[in-house]
Amino acid sequence: MSAHVAVKDLRITAGGKAIVDGVSFEIERGQVLALIGESGSGKTTIALALMGHSRFGATISGEVRLGETRVDRLDDAGLQALRGRRVAYVAQSAASAFNPSRTIMAQVTEPLLVHRLAGKEEAEARAVDLFRALALPSPETIGARYPHQLSGGQLQRLMAAMALITRPELVILDEPTTALDVTTQVEVLKAFKVAIASVGATAIYVSHDLAVVAQMADSILVLNQGRTREQGAAEQVLHAPADDYTRTLMGAARPHARSAPAVVGKEALLKVEGVHAAYGKVPVLRDISLSLAKGATLGVIGESGSGKSTLARVIAGLLPRSAGSVSLAGEELPKGLEGRSREQFRRVQLVFQNADTALNPVQTVGQALARPLAFYHGLKGAAAEAEVARLLDLIRLPAHLATRNVRQLSGGQKQRVNLARALAARPEVLLCDEVTSALDTVVGAAILELIDELRRELGIATVFISHDISTVRAFCDQVLVLYGGTAVEQADAAAFGRGVHHPYTDLLTDSVPEMRAGWLEQARTRKAVLAGESGDDLCRFLPRCPVAIAGTCNAAPPPLRSGDGLALLCHHELHDLEGMSA
């Protein structure tokens, strides 16, 4: 029997430029092919071509075969019958893929009803079965809810339910877990794997995350700029890559510890003591204390909503703290922006996550960099120009880029400019808020190395906010783990490496996929002991904690356990936790 899906010499061109150039592959029935590559490599374009769809009015040529059907030769009516019925698509951001004004059930059953494959009752029964297979909470009633009442991970699984409900032959998953927290990602991946297997569909998994791909794929196709770089069984590509580009990707996926330790000053430069902050009446930070010396790096980790970005905003004064103090070199900073002197502004600089929105789109690179120079240092004319050139050299961009508009830069270049603008102030504290999470792995790794190098050369104290625990572990001298606005664990690098952790840190560590097949099956998902219990003073992690002690954890606030460079909030003794982490 020939392959279920066959693509031969696929070429997709837009405006005379080839986005995909001569890609061929075959997938056997029930197998999963992963398309990996950086952004702009054409992986999503290929995936969409399998549904006969092309973006930006691009033209598709070559052969796309699904079973006995030549997808590339179908007319509009033929494509309409194909889409949603034989081929289904799961998009990256489920939150924006659902219609907010209709119930989940109406949207999940829609493909069945549109293609007249089932009546309303049968469709709803099938949907509930899928909800159960995808391990969604209260499968019988979840359909009556609206998208805004559900979490991102739940929506992503519901999106899969919508795709799988017609029992399609081919499912296309386009970066379905990229927008999710690591802890959620594990659950979603598990649910996907089970559900796809139960329907018996062939799947194409588009991703830039090699470790995730290792869990899902039978074979892998590595793409770069629309061309195939390497193609083969998952095991071979991941563990014995033949192509240089694949090896680069693999190298970037594993952050290696920095080469030389930083020269860290003795005295605390930035001191945060007992800081509380709230959005309106909702508390987002509770009693955060930290101290950071010149040249040191503090990693702040936590899931979305843990308050890690808020911490940076509070230090920068964008969100006035409601209690506590923030001081810089012994001098207390005013709560909000008002009352801070220009010098105080200069010493603390914030680098935003998304360089696309953090740079003013009407400015040139030179203008963006010259403003802080003029504002803080009064540099104008030739002196400013020379300094801009020096900054561009520092971030390893060619000097002629100064006259370019920021929109003409690539994502990585923008993030470098974003960083350079902060450095132009000659800051003492640099707050980096998820600066690499919007970038490709290779580009992100280069930015990280750049930050680390600059920090060492310029002696800047860095607060490095990230959701990626392995990056933080490799780059930081101190680690702060936030959960629900509380610092559940705080440790220096050596103590953090010893393996005694708060149960939440353990959960985070266990959720990072490893680059080997079978990890997903072995990954522990330990059930919470006291699910549903929470209180204002109690441990914030209690509703999700797998090792909570009934009668203690739900009765009293967790005590502070500290020793040898480590401090964490837990009812368990440190030596007990050591056993649990192992």
Partner 1 sequence: MSRFASFAKSLPLSGRIGLSLVLFWLAVALVGPAVAPHGVGAFVDQDVFSPVSSAFPLGSDYLGRDVLSRLLWGARYTVFLGAGAALLACLIGTTLALTAAVRGGWVDEVLSRAMDTLISIPSKIFALVMVAAFGSSLALLLTITAITYVPGNYRIARALAVNVVSLDFVTVARARGEGGLHVALREVLPNMIHPLLADFGLRFVFIVLLLSGLSFLGLGVQPPYADLGSLVRENMSGLVDGAPAIVMPALAIATLTVGANLLIDALKPVEKQG
Around 382, how many Cα atoms within 13 Å sit in the side-chain half-sphere? 0
Among 354, 470, 509, 562, binds partner 1 (CB under 8 A): 354
Report the alpha-carbon angle 312-317-321, nearest 5: 85
In the region spanning residues 41 to 60, those forming contacts with partner 1, defined by CB under 8 A, are none
Alpha helices in 141-231 (DSSP H): 152-164, 182-199, 210-216
Q: How far is the CB of 284 from partner 1 (least distance, A)?
A: 17
CB of 509 closer than 8 Å to CB of 580: no
Stretch that binds partner 1, among 48-56, 69-77, 349-357, 511-519 (CB under 8 A): 349-357
Q: Under the criterion CB under 8 A, does residue 304 sit at the interface with partner 1? A: no
Q: How far is the CB of 423 from partner 1 (least distance, A)?
A: 13
State how far the alpha carbon of 100 is from the alpha carbons of 64, 153, 456, 536, 578, in Å.
34, 16, 48, 32, 45
State how far the alpha carbon of 385 is from the alpha carbons of 83, 157, 393, in Å.
55, 52, 12
Q: Under the criterion CB under 8 A, does residue 346 sit at the interface with partner 1? A: yes
Minimum CB distance to partner 1 smaller for 138 or for 341: 341
Minimum CB distance to partner 1 smaller for 138 or for 360: 360
In the region spanning residues 403 to 462, those forming contacts with partner 1, defined by CB under 8 A, are 405, 407-408, 421, 425
The phi-psi region of residue 551 (left if phi > 0; otherwise alpha if psi is between -120 and 50; otherwise beta) is left
Q: Under the criterion CB under 8 A, does residue 527 sit at the interface with partner 1? A: no
Among 99, 138, 304, 357, binds partner 1 (CB under 8 A): 357
How many Å apart are CA 572 and CA 371, to the nearest integer? 52
How many Å apart are CA 234 and CA 27, to the nearest integer? 13
Q: Under the criterion CB under 8 A, does residue 347 sit at the interface with partner 1? A: no
How many Å apart are CA 427 and CA 359, to the nearest integer? 19
Minimum CB distance to partner 1 smaller for 396 or for 407: 407
Stretch that binds partner 1, among 169-177, 207-215, 254-262, 312-320 (CB under 8 A): 312-320
Q: How far is the CB of 361 from partner 1 (least distance, A)?
A: 6
Alpha helices in 331-458 (DSSP H): 342-347, 355-358, 365-377, 381-394, 411-424, 441-458
Minimum CB distance to partner 1 smaller for 96 or for 525: 96
Stretch that binds partner 1, among 203-211, 230-238, 263-271, 357-365 (CB under 8 A): 357-365
In the region spanning residues 313 to 342, those forming contacts with partner 1, defined by CB under 8 A, are 316-318, 337, 340, 342
CB of 179 closer than 8 Å to CB of 152: yes
537-572 exposure pattern, b = at least 16 Cβ within 10 A, e = fewer: ebbbbbbbbbbbeeeebbeeebeebeeeebbbbbbb
Stretch that binds partner 1, among 36-44, 354-362, 390-398, 546-554 (CB under 8 A): 354-362
In the region spanning residues 239 to 258, those forming contacts with partner 1, defined by CB under 8 A, are none
Q: How far is the CB of 407 from partner 1 (least distance, A)?
A: 7
How many Å apart are CA 241 and CA 285, to the nearest integer? 45
| Cβ-Cβ contacts under 8 Å for 294 (sequence gap 6 or more) | 264, 265, 267, 269, 428, 459, 461
Comparing CA positions, the residue from 83, 140, 130 lying closest to residue 109 is 130
Q: How far is the CB of 477 from partner 1 (least distance, A)?
A: 25
Sheet with strand 87-90: strands edge to edge:
87-90, 170-174, 202-207, 32-36, 219-224, 227-233
Would you state the structure tokens that stand for residue 132, as one six-digit string?
């159960």
Minimum CB distance to partner 1 smaller for 86 or for 313: 313
How many Å apart are CA 509 and CA 100, to the nearest integer? 34
Among 66, 333, 358, 463, binds partner 1 (CB under 8 A): 358
Strand partners, 478: 298, 492
Among 236, 375, 459, 529, binds partner 1 (CB under 8 A): 375
State how far the alpha carbon of 165 is from the alpha carbons of 81, 127, 160, in Å.
15, 7, 8
Q: How far is the CB of 326 from partner 1 (least distance, A)?
A: 14
Four-residue CA torsion sign, 484, 488, 490, 493: negative
How many Å apart are CA 65 and CA 413, to the nearest integer? 39
How many Å apart are CA 281 and CA 302, to the nearest integer? 22
Minimum CB distance to partner 1 smaller for 198 or for 363: 363
Minimum CB distance to partner 1 smaller for 231 or for 418: 418
| Cβ-Cβ contacts under 8 Å for 41 (sequence gap 6 or more) | 223, 224, 225, 226
Biggest CA–CA distance in the chain, Å, is 76
Minimum CB distance to partner 1 smaller for 128 or for 319: 319
Stretch that binds partner 1, among 7-15, 195-203, 370-378, 449-457 (CB under 8 A): 370-378
In the region spanning residues 201 to 230, those forming contacts with partner 1, defined by CB under 8 A, are none
Among 15, 361, 378, 532, binds partner 1 (CB under 8 A): 361
State how far the alpha carbon of 111 is from the alpha carbons of 105, 197, 394, 572, in Å.
11, 20, 53, 50
Q: Under the criterion CB under 8 A, does residue 345 sit at the interface with partner 1? A: yes
Minimum CB distance to partner 1 smaller for 11 or for 371: 371
Q: Under the criterion CB under 8 A, does residue 127 sit at the interface with partner 1? A: no
Minimum CB distance to partner 1 smaller for 29 or for 371: 371
Q: Under the criterion CB under 8 A, does residue 377 sit at the interface with partner 1? A: no
Q: How far is the CB of 286 from partner 1 (least distance, A)?
A: 23
Among 50, 195, 359, 419, binds partner 1 (CB under 8 A): 359
Stretch that binds partner 1, among 118-126, 300-308, 350-358, 523-531 (CB under 8 A): 350-358
Among 25, 89, 245, 352, binds partner 1 (CB under 8 A): 352
Query: 């190098």: which residue's tokens?
Result: 453
Stretch that binds partner 1, among 95-103, 116-124, 137-145, 347-355 (CB under 8 A): 347-355
Contact residues toward partner 1 (CB under 8 A) are: 316-318, 337, 340, 342, 344-346, 349-350, 352, 354, 357-362, 371-372, 375, 405, 407-408, 421, 425
